[in-house]
Amino acid sequence: MSRIGKQLIKIPAQVNVIVTDNKIVIKGPKGEASHTLPSFLEITFKDETTLQVLRKQETREAREIHGLFRSLLANSIYGTANPFIKSLELKGVGYKASIDKRTLILSVGYTHPIKITPPEGISIQVESNTIIHVTGINKEKVGLIAQQIHSTRPPEPYKGKGVLYKGEVIQRKVGKSSK
């Protein structure tokens, strides 16, 4: 059995999980998420605060999806109670970020500003022109938007300029040496 798939999922007090046929709806104070349950998996409630994902069959596909689906479900339950946050920081002379309605506008050394519009359910806040917070209940979408922002100007190893994740350490290289 999958080591991840067999783990129990704790349900916070403010989160409500509703299972019908092959649809799972998770409602929490920060939002709502839903998943379609594959036909070879089932969900059992151990009590009101824990649930477990079990396999109905021992097929290869069921074994492959078991741990993945459990992780996706656990992330949705956690995200509806307290949203996921990814923080990025801009390092470099003249690098700045701003918000226009829902669109993030990045000035990171190109001739034109880069505009990124987040999908529904994801919010972006800019703090002091150089720190960006990406927030949402879906961990996958938060990470995807954060990576999209990060890839606009990846950090370079010589001066350390670029868009960095909060706490990311860039190994610096020495430049050319003159004789």
pLDDT at 3 over 90: no
* Whole-structure pTM value: 0.85
Share of the chain above pLDDT 90, in %: 69
| C-alpha distances out from residue 76 to 3, 31, 64, 157, Å | 19, 10, 20, 36
Amino acid in the structure at residue 17: V
Q: Which residues contact 84 (CB under 8 A, 6 or more apart)?
A: 75, 78, 135, 136, 137, 138, 139, 142, 143
Q: What is the pLDDT of residues 90-106, one digit of tens each?
A: 998 999 999 999 999 99
Q: What is the pLDDT of residues 24-66, one digit of tens each?
A: 999 999 989 999 999 889 999 988 899 999 999 888 998 889 9
pLDDT of residue 4: 87
Confidence grade of residue 119 (pLDDT, cut at 50, 70, 90): very high
CA distance 159 to 87: 21
pLDDT of residue 6: 86
Residue in the structure block whose two tokens are 């596909």? 61
Average pLDDT of the chain, as a whole number: 91
pLDDT of residue 98: 94
Q: Concatenated DSSP letters for 13-63?
A: TT-EEEEETTEEEEEETTEEEEEEPPTTEEEEEEETTEEEEEESS--HHHH
pLDDT of residue 106: 93
Contact 168, 97 (CB under 8 A): no
Domains for the chain: give ranges and CATH numbers.
Answer: 9-81 (3.90.930.12), 84-165 (3.90.930.12)
pLDDT at 126 over 60: yes
pLDDT of residue 177: 79
Angle (CA) 145 24 57, round 5°: 105
pLDDT of residue 64: 87
